[in-house]
Amino acid sequence: MISYIHGTLRQKLSDRVVVDVAGIGYDVFLPQFVMRGLDHPEGQEVQFDIYYHVTERQIRPTLIGFNNPYEKRFFEKFISVEDIGPQKAARALTLSVSTIARAIESEDIATLRGLPGIGERTARKMVATLRGKVTEEALLKDAGFAAPEKEEQQAEPIAEIRDDVLTILVDMGHRRSEASVKIDAAIKANPSIATAEDLIREVYRAEQSAP
């Protein structure tokens, strides 16, 4: 199984790239939102987090590449929806992860239905399956937001939770001062926050309600 690829960009095609790793060329399929952000010229080093797909019927492995583990994790949630397989999901992801996640969380069927290959019925299945599970990805910095690195399973001291979430937001592209203000406001709005996941959700709700 391949979890990531680091090598030289050998060729860029419409839906995939060829990455040379120690003299071996790997076809890596890229969702359109990943391809749009790939400004590396041929001959430059690239790295992708990889979703590795192989089945009994499809014995030839398919490698689907992402910019970071957060996008890959969203993809794994995305294909848990009935009737959405890896290849269909890769073709559908023309918008950024955060845009699609926000559409799911806000039940924006029109936006979801506009994704290639996604009709009304599948869009509603996406909301029914994933709403409440992708608030973290809705904060990803790919479109002005950020995502958490892990889910917390037990309550922790609020100072530790605050530090964890601050590190996560900064790591994903927020300015430290801006992230600190948002976190403090979220804690003030909901003093009962007990986990990093709770705090991320509160930050997300504040972003949604901001004018």
For residues 79-101, one letter each, b for 16 or more C-beta atoms within 10 angstroms of the residue's C-beta and e for the rest, the string is: bebeebebebbbbbbebbbbbbb
* Local confidence band at 148 (pLDDT 50, 70, 90 cut-offs): very low
> Mean pLDDT of all residues in the chain?
86
For 149-209, CATH gives: 1.10.8
Three-class SS of residue 46? strand
For residues 15-28, one letter each, b for 16 or more C-beta atoms within 10 angstroms of the residue's C-beta and e for the rest, the string is: ebbbbbeeeeebbb
Domain residue limits, the chain: 149-209
> What confidence tens digit (pLDDT) does each residue in 182-211 have?
999 988 888 888 888 888 888 888 878 766
Query: Measured between alpha carbons, how far is residue 30 from residues 11, 47, 73, 122, 194 in Å?
Result: 13, 12, 15, 22, 37
